[in-house]
Amino acid sequence: MKKSWLALRSAILWILSALHFFILAPLLVFLGIFLDPHKHDWLQRTFCRRIVFLSGASMEVRHSPGFDPSRTSFFVSNHVNLFDPFMLYCAIPQFVRGWELESHFKIPAYGWLMKRFGNVPVPDIRRPSDLKRMWRLTQDAIDGGTSLIIFAEAKRTRDGHVDQFQDGGFRVAQQLGVPIVPVSLVGSFQHHRTGHWMLWPAQVTVILHDTIDTKGLTKADVPTLRDRVREIIAAPMEEQLKRVGS
């Protein structure tokens, strides 16, 4: 009986989430044509909070003592499911956008919304000209006071564990001198697992760890920086998985 109720609950939540998204996303796209996104950021955050609510999750945000909310940064996070970006938009106090695969901009409604939000396209095929464009748009975002979300695994986990990180975001951070904030999404795997349709009742804790300065680092320091950030992000994830027995 409990399993049947959870399945029915998941179906209802997916329907409500889809209706909410496909009705309000075009409205935000329309507003983005005429208004500076900074002026209606509160609407976008409200939109994201409702997506989280309609997914059936509760969310808690924790700040480490060394997190500096005043610095424009790269927020490097683990990636579990399609609700992660919306949770991060709710949790990060700065004006924030993200690196987004360029192919995602072709997805109806979602892609239009991400483009109007001002997300930076990451080329699926890494040609030099495309990479230069990505670096330029990243620099423009940082210079304009926009922090960026980066999923360094470049894919969603299938087992709840944090996969290996790619170097790209760390190379850009080192070259541009952008500080990095490691972010742990704890409980997302218990809420919704990629490849499954069930939405389980769960609390997701977003941990904003200490801000890491990259100024003065060299290219040779990038692997160490990458591994350090991954270790920080993975620690509470592994603790959670042990606790729930996954």
Q: Environment class of residue 216 by beta-carbon count within 10 Å: exposed (0-12), middle (13-18) or buried (19+)?
A: exposed
Within 8 A by CB and 6+ apart from 34, the residues are none
pLDDT value of position 41: 87
Please report where in the chains the tokens 């683990």 appear, as a residue: 78
* φ and ψ at residue 181, rounded to 5 degrees: -115, 110
pLDDT value of position 62: 96
pLDDT tens across 58-117, in order? 999 999 999 999 999 999 999 999 999 999 999 999 999 998 887 777 777 667 667 767
pLDDT tens across 32-59, in order? 777 777 888 888 899 999 999 999 999 9
pTM value is: 0.91
- Per-residue pLDDT averaged across 188-197, rounded? 93
Q: Is the pLDDT of residue 152 over 70?
A: yes
Distance CA 229, CA 245 (A): 25
Radius of gyration of the chain (CA): 18
3-class DSSP state for residue 49?
helix
pLDDT tens across 7-38, in order? 999 999 999 999 998 888 778 777 777 777 78
Neighbour-count burial for 102-134, b at 16+ CB within 10 Å, e otherwise? beeeeeeebbbbbbbbbbbbbeeeeeeeeeeeb
Distance CA 30, CA 25 (A): 9
